[in-house]
Amino acid sequence: MVIDTHVHVWDTGRLHYPWLQDIPTLNRPYLVEEYLEAVTAIPLAGWIFVQCECAFDQARAELDWILSLAARHKGFRGIIPWAPVHDGSDAEPYLAAITAASPLVKGVRRLIQSEADLQFCVQPRFLEGLRILPSFNLSFDICISHTQLEPVIAMVQACPEVQFILDHIGKPDIRSGTLDPWRDRIYELAGHPNVACKISGLVTEADHATWRREDLKPYIDHILTCFGFDRVMFGGDWPVATLAASYREWFEALTWAITGCSEDEQRRLFHDNALRIYRLGSPAT
């Protein structure tokens, strides 16, 4: 069985997503029903919703809408909403409110990728906001480009009590086949036991039209070497990944890449680690 740890749904008629203006293919509603159609051939045991970067002032409305969907679709196993971590200790009331809203809220995400300042994630206020998260039993999803790995390592070092989850293996430049310095920095990041990694989003970082599963394998192999099978999780990154592949194409590329791994290792990657790292417990009822 599979728990998909990285799913987006959005409704462009309900909320404003500024980043979609530059991606016409994605600039329409993508709802749960369409996701379920995409995963028909996958033995799905549930999924985790990850915030979709709507306008900041609509982030709480996004969470409320997702909670209304979770009341109808029991496949929601966790929710990772946006949170103003950059506000430092002033973020505490917001964190208290979203955790009180539902036990499905398991962590938060505040994009680092979109920040031009490489030092954004190590500013004192940002670190202060991160250090509050354990008191609410929340993890932090790291969404970055590979060029931001160095300051992210410093961020993780400064917050040893925080459970971090690296999205999309740090978005390496798969399109050009570049491994370094991503490879060394991933090795260093994985040396911190409070960091896990989602194997997700790889096809989006490859050439959308011509990628082959062989292009992805060196990156997957390195992640498994560095993090092992106890700190990795599968993510579909739907619908963003549809820019390059169908859900099934990505799923089959990953299962091909780990051919030879034991049944236990595959179960940890696709299911068990999500339960433990995101503290999912039993299915929502």
> What are the residues whose beta carbons fall under 8 Å from the beta carbon of 212, sequence distance 6 or more?
none
Provide the pLDDT for residue 283: 42
Joined tokens for residue 164: 């971090």
What residue ranges do the domains of the chain occupy? 2-277
Q: Is 44 within 8 Å of 74 (Cβ atoms)?
A: no
Of 117, 124, 48, 51, which is closest to residue 83 (Cα–Cα)? Answer: 51
* pTM summary value: 0.97
Give CA–CA dist 186/208, Å, rounded. 24
Superfamily of domain 2-277: Metal-dependent hydrolases (3.20.20.140)
The alpha carbon of residue 270 and the mean position of all alpha carbons in its chain are separated, in whole angstroms, by: 14
Vertex 49, ends 63 and 9: CA angle to 5°?
Answer: 80
- Residue 50 host element (H or E): strand 44-50
Q: Is 281 exposed, middle or buried (0-12, 13-18, 19+ CB in 10 A)?
A: exposed
In the structure encoding, which two tokens stand for residue 186, read together?
Answer: 């991933």
The pLDDT of residue 281: 79
**Predicted local confidence at residue 10, as pLDDT:** 98
DSSP reduced 3-state for 44: strand
> pLDDT means per 10 residues in the chain (285 residues)?
98 98 97 98 96 98 98 97 98 98 98 97 98 98 98 98 98 98 98 98 98 98 98 98 98 97 98 98 48
Tell me the two tokens of residue 179. Answer: 């491994």
Instruction: Look up residue 236 and give its amino acid.
Output: G
